[in-house]
């Protein structure tokens, strides 16, 4: 997608053919800074500290992390160490484990002399595959927006609500939830996006708003608690969110607060769609609410806020009383019964076991 007219991806192989470039998402929207990752440890650190984030991008970064590791030690022990270092970087997004399994399957049968080149090639394929998958999601999700647009008076936009950042920054390009939105925008359909700020890290306000703005897509940032009110007043045509892991039964894990939006959508007959690339499906988990691990993060994300002061400095301030305990669950699980449909690269699916298994039989066979 575009930043001030120039096309960017969130991650790329640098011209030196070794190191990996990535947009430092901790600095947005205030500063556009590119980071250079040169080792497996730096890749793991980038995931852990959320320099990169978003399930598909976490997966792609881990794949490049293995390639960086192979430069230093391409032995079986080196491959094993890279896997173990990266797999624990964040717990909820299953794309991390998926990408590492893909890398291990490709590299394990090879000799140590072949592994480095093969690792870069497979990491690059995983990144390209993510872009292609998201373009599929864009094509399959577009009719949902077109359907609303067809019932609109000329000039009236289709209002889509999204939560967190499931945009191009969270993937390699296009995003998942944003992919149909970008395609609709490209096709000249008037779309307007309600962007949940997404406390505590504000990925909506900081990242989704930034990328939509730079690509020229009309949007409005709303405090997290606003969605229900907008839905009651007919101001949301459909919700589209991303996900970090979908269980085999269709339960959807995504950024904390997604469940509340799904409840409000259900109560107001607003279609609630989840956009996902197939690597986000975890067929090993039968019940998302019971079994998906939920990341708990540092209290400082809740107690403190960082922003730009009037004189241009970045400053962090405390916004809660000293001594009050804090809980910071990163994700929640929306039960399948609240999900209207899963927008995948193979079509819009019902959120249930049979539909997921029928659409991705090769994944079932691999389990």
Nearer to ligand MRU, 26 or 115 (CB): 26
Which segment (7-15, 53-61, 120-128, 223-231) binds ligand MRU by CB under 6 A? 53-61
CA atoms within 13 A on the CB side of 69: 27
Binding-site string for ligand MRU from residue 191 to residue 220, where x marks contact by CB under 6 A and - marks none: ------------x-----------------
Q: Judged by CB under 6 A, which of 171, 208, 278, 344 binds ligand MRU?
A: 171
**To which residue do tokens 């001594």 refer?**
323
Q: Judged by CB under 6 A, which of 91, 242, 335, 351 binds ligand MRU?
A: 242
Residue 178's closest CA among 148, 220, 121, 134?
Answer: 134
Is there binding between residue 254 and ligand MRU (CB under 6 A)? yes
Give the chain's radius of gyration (CA, Å).
20
Nearer to ligand MRU, 70 or 209 (CB): 209
Nearer to ligand MRU, 107 or 144 (CB): 144
CA atoms within 13 A on the CB side of 210: 22
Classify residue 169 by burial, with Cβ atoms within 10 Å: 0-12, 13-18, 19+: buried
Residues present in the chain in total: 367
356-to-124, 134, 282 alpha-carbon distances in Å: 27, 17, 10
Nearer to ligand MRU, 90 or 122 (CB): 90
> How far is residue 274's CA from residue 334's CA, in Å, rounded to a whole number?
10
Q: Judged by CB under 6 A, which of 20, 35, 44, 53 binds ligand MRU?
A: 53
Binding-site string for ligand MRU from residue 82 to residue 101, where x marks contact by CB under 6 A and - marks none: -----------x--------
251-to-30, 121, 203 alpha-carbon distances in Å: 35, 33, 22
90-to-44, 49, 230, 333 alpha-carbon distances in Å: 9, 9, 33, 17
Is there binding between residue 244 and ligand MRU (CB under 6 A)? yes
Binding-site string for ligand MRU from residue 289 to residue 318, where x marks contact by CB under 6 A and - marks none: ------------------------------
Nearer to ligand MRU, 21 or 59 (CB): 59
60-to-63, 118, 326 alpha-carbon distances in Å: 5, 15, 32
Can 244 be counted among the known catalytic residues? yes
> How far is residue 351's CA from residue 120's CA, in Å, rounded to a whole number?
35
Is residue 170 within 8 A of residue 131, CB to CB? The reply is no
In the complex, what is the shortest distance from the CB of residue 333 to ligand MRU, in angstroms, rounded to a whole number?
Answer: 12
Which segment (47-55, 119-127, 208-216, 281-289) binds ligand MRU by CB under 6 A? 47-55
In the complex, what is the shortest distance from the CB of residue 365 to ligand MRU, in angstroms, rounded to a whole number?
Answer: 25
In the complex, what is the shortest distance from the CB of residue 35 to ligand MRU, in angstroms, rounded to a whole number?
Answer: 16
Query: Which residues make beta-bridge pairs with 296?
Result: 329
Q: Judged by CB under 6 A, which of 330, 335, 341, 351 binds ligand MRU?
A: 330
In the complex, what is the shortest distance from the CB of residue 241 to ligand MRU, in angstroms, rounded to a whole number?
Answer: 6
Is there binding between residue 59 and ligand MRU (CB under 6 A)? no
Is there binding between residue 40 and ligand MRU (CB under 6 A)? no
Helix, strand, coil proportions of the chain in percent (round to 5)? Answer: 45, 20, 35
Is residue 65 within 8 A of residue 54, CB to CB? The reply is no
Catalytic residue among 196, 244, 251, 282: 244
Question: Could you tell me the two tokens for 3?
Answer: 């930043």
- Which residues lie near ligand MRU (CB under 6 A)? 53-56, 93, 164, 166, 170-171, 175-176, 203, 242-244, 254-255, 330
Catalytic residue positions, numbered:
244
């Amino acid at each position: 997608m575009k930043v001030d007219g120039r096309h960017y991806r969130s991650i790329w192989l640098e011209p030196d053919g070794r190191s990996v470039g990535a947009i430092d998402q901790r600095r947005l929207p205030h500063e556009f800074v590119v980071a250079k990752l040169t080792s497996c440890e730096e890749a793991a650190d980038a995931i852990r500290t959320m320099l990169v984030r978003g399930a598909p991008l976490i997966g792609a970064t881990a794949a490049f992390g293995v390639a960086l590791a192979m430069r230093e030690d391409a032995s079986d022990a080196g491959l094993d160490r890279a896997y173990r270092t990266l797999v624990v970087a964040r717990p909820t997004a299953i794309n991390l484990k998926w990408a590492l399994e893909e890398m291990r399957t490709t590299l394990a049968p090879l000799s140590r002399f072949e592994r480095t080149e093969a690792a870069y090639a497979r990491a690059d394929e995983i990144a390209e595959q993510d872009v292609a998958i998201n373009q599929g999601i864009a094509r399959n999700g577009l009719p949902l927006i077109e359907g609303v647009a067809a019932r609109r008076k000329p000039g009236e936009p289709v209002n889509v609500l999204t939560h967190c950042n499931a945009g191009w920054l969270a993937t390699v390009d296009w995003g998942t939830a944003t992919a149909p939105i970008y395609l609709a925008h490209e096709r000249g359909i008037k779309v307007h996006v309600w962007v949940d700020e997404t406390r505590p890290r504000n990925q909506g306000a900081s990242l989704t708003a930034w990328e939509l703005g730079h690509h020229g897509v009309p949007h409005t940032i709303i405090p997290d608690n606003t969605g229900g009110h907008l839905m009651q007043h007919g101001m949301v045509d459909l919700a589209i969110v991303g996900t970090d892991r979908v269980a085999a039964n269709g339960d959807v894990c995504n950024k904390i607060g997604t469940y509340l939006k799904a409840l409000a959508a259900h109560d107001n007959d607003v279609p609630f769609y989840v956009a996902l690339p197939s690597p986000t499906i975890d067929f090993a988990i039968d019940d998302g609410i019971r079994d998906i691990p939920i990341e708990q993060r540092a209290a400082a994300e809740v107690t403190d806020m960082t922003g730009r002061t009037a004189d241009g400095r970045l400053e962090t301030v405390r916004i809660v009383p000293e001594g009050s305990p804090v809980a910071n669950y990163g994700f929640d699980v929306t039960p399948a019964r609240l999900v209207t449909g899963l927008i995948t690269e193979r079509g819009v699916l019902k959120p249930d076991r049979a539909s997921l298994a029928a659409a991705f039989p090769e994944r079932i066979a691999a389990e």
